[in-house]
Amino acid sequence: MQVDGDWVDWFPPTHPDRPDAPNMDMSITVGWNAAVKAGVTREEMDAWALRSHRNAIAAIDEGRFKEEIVPIDTPHGLFSVDEHPRRDTSMEKLAALKPLHPEIEGFSITAGNACGANDGAAALTIASDRLGLPALATIRSWASVGVDPAITGLAPVEAIPKALGRAGLSVADVNLFEINEAFAAMCVATIKLLDLHPKRSTSAAAAARWGIPSRRPEPGCSSPWCTNCAAAAAGSASRRCARAAGWARRR
């Protein structure tokens, strides 16, 4: 970010710099290294990104987020629909984008298969049981894991089984998995390594199409997830958000 015209880090380093784990470059630590570990190809990343945008556009057109968005008057007009999802994207357009690190052989993370950086805000009301209001969801369990800074993107692979174990569930018991989608590589890698079915993985709420607002409030992650569980009539769901399931371990 810029302060008085000078560029400064917007949050402090999380670990000592290493060639395979540079600070402040999640395209490597979350995206690329996860892709390499799981054998994820550029085509698979782009296909996942395209699927994400199409799911998002369909959800918008079906009005699935109208109850979650409070319209806001801005100098540019009324804001009531998320702007990030692209209606005109295609595999051809995604394939034409240049990698973010062309100096790294085979590097295939691009602006198209990574999330954007957007503004965002969310609010959450916590109510008492005595009000008799129906609950949107019940948290059965949660898990937090520490992983090497180079493989931050693979934290869900460790956290999901841990959380399921605490709840007495298996992967087969879960109808919907919401995996942080900062990079398409992260989702595809997790699906491969945990042998998840793509149709049960990540709903209409993830980041490659919405963009990740810096320091996004936790309710912003939770609300669409609850909505999609209800829409899918899911008996059980597992959610992995960056803050909930494993930052890089300091070394």
What pLDDT tens digit does each residue of the chain (251 aa) get? Answer: 556 666 566 666 778 889 899 988 999 999 999 999 999 999 999 999 999 899 889 989 999 888 888 898 989 899 888 888 899 999 999 999 999 999 999 999 999 999 887 777 777 777 878 888 887 778 889 898 989 999 999 999 999 999 999 999 998 888 888 888 889 999 999 999 999 988 888 654 444 445 444 434 444 444 554 544 443 333 444 444 333 333 333 33
Cα Rg, the chain, nearest whole Å: 18
In a domain, 130, yes or no: no
- Show the domain range for 83: 25-114+140-244
Question: CB atoms < 10 A from the CB of 175, how many?
Answer: 13
Tokens of 195: 């042998």
In a domain, 9, yes or no: no
Q: What angle (nearest 5°) sits at the alpha carbon of residue 189, between those of residues 226 and 23?
A: 90
In a domain, 250, yes or no: no
pLDDT attached to residue 82: 84
Q: What gap in Å lies between CA 218 and CA 9, rounded to an integer?
A: 22
CB 109 within 8 A of CB 99: yes
Residue 244 neighbours by CB under 8 Å, 6+ apart: 142, 144, 159
In a domain, 94, yes or no: yes
Q: What is the CATH number of the domain that holds 179?
A: 3.40.47.10
In a domain, 109, yes or no: yes
Q: How many domains does the chain have?
A: 1
In a domain, 174, yes or no: yes
In a domain, 37, yes or no: yes
* Number of residues that this document lists for the chain: 251
Exposed / middle / buried, residue 113 (Cβ in 10 Å: 0-12, 13-18, 19+): buried
Strand partners, 3: 6
pLDDT attached to residue 132: 87
Pairing of strands 2-3, 176-179: unpaired
In a domain, 188, yes or no: yes
